[in-house]
């Protein structure tokens, strides 16, 4: 009986830690959206996330983005791309640490069109 109780407690602790990982709930531009302009790259998380790296690639290669959000754990992250992005497809890759310290990463993409 005692072993059963410990097994149940271990299962509950494991399940709780899995649920604790932050994840991106929404992005701007939205994933797979077609837009005419991009004023900001934004990500909203369900729990605080410390975004440690963000890169953006486009039709001409790497695109410099300027972090507006620092390195603190936040639920909303923001970076600014160049003002006139050429027409084409873009991919944003990010890495970070969730509130429970686990490394996380994600990708989303969008297209700039006329």
Distance from C-alpha of 82 to C-alpha of 64, rounded to nearest angstrom: 7
Q: How confident is the model at residue 38 (pLDDT cuts 50, 70, 90)?
A: very high
Position 99 confidence tier, pLDDT thresholds 50, 70, 90: confident
Q: What is the pTM of this model?
A: 0.79
- The separation between CA 111 and the C-alpha centre of its own chain, rounded to angstroms, equals 18
pLDDT greater at residue 2 or residue 100: 100
3-class SS string, 5-52 = HHHHHHHHHHHHHHHCCCCEEEEECCCCEEECCCCCEEEEEEEEEEEE
pLDDT in tens, 44-83: 999 999 999 999 999 999 999 999 999 999 999 999 999 9
Q: State the DSSP string of 45-58.
A: EEEEEEEEEEEEEE
Query: Which one is predicted more confidently, 19 or 93?
Result: 93
Query: Which residue ranges form the domains of the chain, and what is each CATH number?
Result: 22-112 (2.60.40.1220)
């Amino acid at each position: 009986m005692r072993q059963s109780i410990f097994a149940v407690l271990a299962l509950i602790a494991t399940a709780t830690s899995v649920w604790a990982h932050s994840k991106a709930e929404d992005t701007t531009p939205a994933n797979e959206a077609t837009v005419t302009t991009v004023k900001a790259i934004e990500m909203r998380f369900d729990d605080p996330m410390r975004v440690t790296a963000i890169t953006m690639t486009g039709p001409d290669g790497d695109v410099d983005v300027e972090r507006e959000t620092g390195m603190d754990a936040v639920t909303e992250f923001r970076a600014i791309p160049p003002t006139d992005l050429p027409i084409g497809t873009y991919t944003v890759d990010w890495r970070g640490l969730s509130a429970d310290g686990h490394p996380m990463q994600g990708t989303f993409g969008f297209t700039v069109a006329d």
